Structure 1
Amino acid sequence: MTKASAVEPGTGGEPEVVSSVFDAGVEHEQVVFCSDPTSGLRAIIAIYSTALGPSLGGTRFRAYPNESAALADALALSKAMAYKAACAGLDLGGGKAVIIGDPAEVSSEALLRAYGRFVASLGGRYITACDVGTFPADMDVVARETRWVVGRSPAHGGSGDSGVLTAYGVFEGMRACAARLWGDPSLAGRTVAVSGVGKVGSRLVGHLIEDGASVLATDVDPAALRRLRERYPEVTVVDDPAALPGMPADVFSPCALGGALTDSVVGRLRARVVCGGANNQLAHPGIDKLLTEAGILYAPDFVVNAGGLIQVADEIEGYHPERAKAAAARIFRTTQAVFELADAEGQTPAAAAATLAERRIAGIGRLRRILLP
């Protein structure tokens, strides 16, 4: 593989092509390529930083178009995880793994256990969890080969679906946005446009309706929209996902795949707030400035969607639902702190969130130089 790429946290656009895998991972502590031909495993584990503690991040199982795309995803997501953990106040670093292939076709017990052996070989430098294409039941299989696994099923002491606190954290971030713009953290009487109603977006819709908001929603999956209609008949369903950004709303909430905020989308947005659960929402690094220039308040994704990370991280001590939810509730104050730093230093919220993360990584990471007996 001679071409690979990496993108900044919070961006999901076309990454810059670099000359080699070494150039691509130059910011990272370690990148591991895992191969087990017998089971069909081809995976990449990227560890961005362990300055704050062991790196933690999910395992994404996808049919990537090529190995370079898989590497780019692992590198970008692991850096974003480091920033997410730092902003969330966790003593964890950032890592991410990708398994190359369609999970519906190639996933098997042997493949997942082979992957678990590679995770185990890192000796705790990387703790894995669920992500797109993997589920708590998969983590239970991985855990048969390594103890460095969270996001397991409740039957095995885990917290289950991390979408529960991801959605809750996004809701808390949205409340912080409302407090800043309208002087009241409630979304009652506001209209929120939710793009993507999977395990995070659908739960977010529930929080919004409970708070008194009106909801517009869309998804590329008709089945997801059908389920949403059945559960929340008061939601206005928009069949065309491309139409949602241009519809009248107070808040636009991207909760599907990354790169949703393109130049074109920002140009059509009628909302005054963007706050959603998707990772890497900005199509390129300049999008945050376009949002600011358009008078749109952006809540950085790796700040507000940290609830899932907080949830699975709580399993390290032994999962306690109330403790994890209380930690996720602090996303409200963290989001406010990002806006305050942006004001104080003349930065966009995305830049301020990165600054907040980098300062904590540098400050606490410095303590690692103090030798302990």
Structure 2
Amino acid sequence: MSPPRIRNMEEFASVSGISRPTISKYFNDPDSVRASTRARIEEALERYDYRPNIYAINQNRRLTKNIGVVVPYLADPFFAEIARNIEQRCIAAGFSPTLFSAHGQPDLERDILDTLRSLKPAGVLFAPLGRSSDRGAIEKFSRDIPTVLFDSNIEGVGEAFIGSNNFQSVPMMVDYLCRTGEAPCFFEMTPLNPNANKRHNAYVEAMEQRGLAPNVVRVEGDSWNFEDIGFAEGKKAFEQKRFNSDTIFCSNDRLAIGLLAAAYEKGYRVGNGAGCAVRIAGHDDHPFSRFTSPTLTTVAQDYASIAQTSVETLFKLIESGERASERRETVYEGKLVLRASA
């Protein structure tokens, strides 16, 4: 039989045979107890798979001012911009943010959670990888440390989620493209996070609501090198005539940036008006999208509101020292940004 689930530190003290004050002392500073006692505690922790209630511990010691910020891929300026917004708000509130990037690697994402435990943060703002994340590890972490998810949602995990409303933004772009030219096909790669799946579904739904047949062009690619995938696979799609429309709506701006380069190499002029062969639009308002040639029509996510609400939600959890009565999800609408590419 598996050992009983331990619900609090008193129960752990009872089953381990170690006094409650000694255990509390260990959790505040493992080096403050004798090596032999530390070994007994750690063996019991492993045997009973117990992790302390950080909220309860914080009632007996001063909260740290550390805030962990975890993003999936810091080399992406989109996440760098959101992280910058979050860091500034944490610093202004007197907290010390520490930024981590999983670099698209699930093993590294798990290691980051272990590192954060050792830092004893007051709370964590976390944008998970998504499909490749270790859900069990994230669930376990968020039970111990106040955790707010942003950008990429894992249903039921963490105290709250703050992100974008893809079922508002994608139909808005589809509507604009349909009103101004041919109905769009949808260019995507293997979905890496929940946003990609939601955008796919929102596109299909928006087309069907207009009585139009969706045309999803999914290409190979299972990495965070979106521009490379958009360029290489976009060229193949042009050569194979997979786009059944002269209007292409890309799942995100980084794919669109790669597709713009592919169109240029294939000799297709991108934009509206005479002499243009194809229209290309994206999603996110990536910081580089205003500097492409032609500049990229896209949907802007509300970076500032996502960052502000994420930080404020976490601060409220930290200050209350209590679990949220129910998990909250807050999503913000996107804004159409019209530029030269469509």
TM-score range, shorter chain: 0.3 to 0.5
TM-score (norm 2): 0.46
TM-score (norm 1): 0.43
Q: Which entry has the higher C-alpha Rg, 1 or 2?
A: 2
